[in-house]
Amino acid sequence: MSFRIVTASGLAVFLILACRSDRPTPVDPISAMQCLPETCGGGGGGGGGGGDPGYPTSDPDPTAPGIWVGINMGLSRCYSPTGAGINDADIDRFDDWCEKWIANDFRPSLRPNYYDCDLRMEPAWSVKYFPASGVIRVGYWLSYYNDCGNQHAFVCNMSQPWQSDCMGHDGDSEFIVVDLRYNAPTDHYVLQRAFMSAHYGSGSSTDYSTNLDYTQLEFPEKYQGYPRVWVALGKHANYPTQGLCNAGAIFGTDTCTDNTAENQMEFIWSRNVGSPSNHMLNCTPAKPEMQYFRPGTECYWDAYDPNQQPPPKRFFGWWWQDGANPYAGGANPYGIPLRQVFEPVSMPAGRDPSLF
């Protein structure tokens, strides 16, 4: 259980922000200005007064699919057609506090390979609401330091034209995007489908990214809650099941045979990339303790504009942009999946599992 003290008119008012014992401790402080109107004692961004005293203070239906995000966090509170009555730094009409908790609670559970050479990452995230369809879309931009390649596979050690597809490189711009809906009777957000990158944008014969309905996904805890993602050895391609991972990539070179550990993705409150209207996180250095080893800068919105000038740089995992590391080349910039997968009303179809 967590509490926040807000001072108003000289009085200390104790406000309950969450009544769940499983709330993680935030990585960095959250300002009181990032809360909902009733939590701040009156509307942010235009007023609005207190909340409805009838909202539930604990999960009203613990056995129902999906996740109860918290007190008075329903869609009618989180979305404002005009932006009034909410805190909306990214100017997308969806409350910042709601975005943080929804993105935190639905962050995927990653199941990587025990023998992977480098699982270090600096993940970012974003949230977008589509009023016409009722879809709340959450993007997780994993931001690995390295792609270690598929040299473990026999066919990747042959002198053949496809060998270049097996090579590693600086930076790995993998991502996972989930579509949610709000279920008012249960006060739960429920996962509807997930897009998982697997060699995204590499071409029709080598792109194994999937866009699957919730019935084809695995859920470690609550049904239609946060999804499990199988992470391929070396290349970090994302798959909804171990079987699809082991059949993934050209010539089946991806593998999840030794994927034993599992943890939810690291979540940092301040790493919201924002929206096309306000790039809250764009060109940024690596986290402070890594800047000596990773001295570069990465720009999450590079290539969002396909006509960008000067031309966008590739994603190098905060290494030098000139590719001085023996791992060269970099990965596609995140602006491409932001434009092609996250922002459109409908996500790309992805590869049908029957074609693996």
Residues 6+ apart with CB under 8 A from 214: 190, 191, 192, 193, 194, 224
pLDDT of residue 149: 82
Residues 6+ apart with CB under 8 A from 188: 61, 64, 65, 66, 67, 68, 182
pLDDT of residue 250: 84
| Of 142-156, 190-204, 287-301, 342-356, the least confident | 142-156
Q: What is the spatial distance between Cα 287 and Cα 157, in angstroms, rounded to a whole number?
A: 35
Strands 228-231 and 109-111: parallel
Question: What average pLDDT does this structure show over 210-227?
Answer: 98
What is the average pLDDT value for the chain, to the nearest integer? 84
Using CB atoms within 10 A of its CB, is residue 186 exposed (0-12), middle (13-18) or buried (19+)? middle
Is the pLDDT confidence value at 43 over 60?
no
Is the pLDDT confidence value at 200 over 90?
yes
**Selected residue with higher pLDDT from 320 and 305:** 305
pLDDT of residue 321: 64
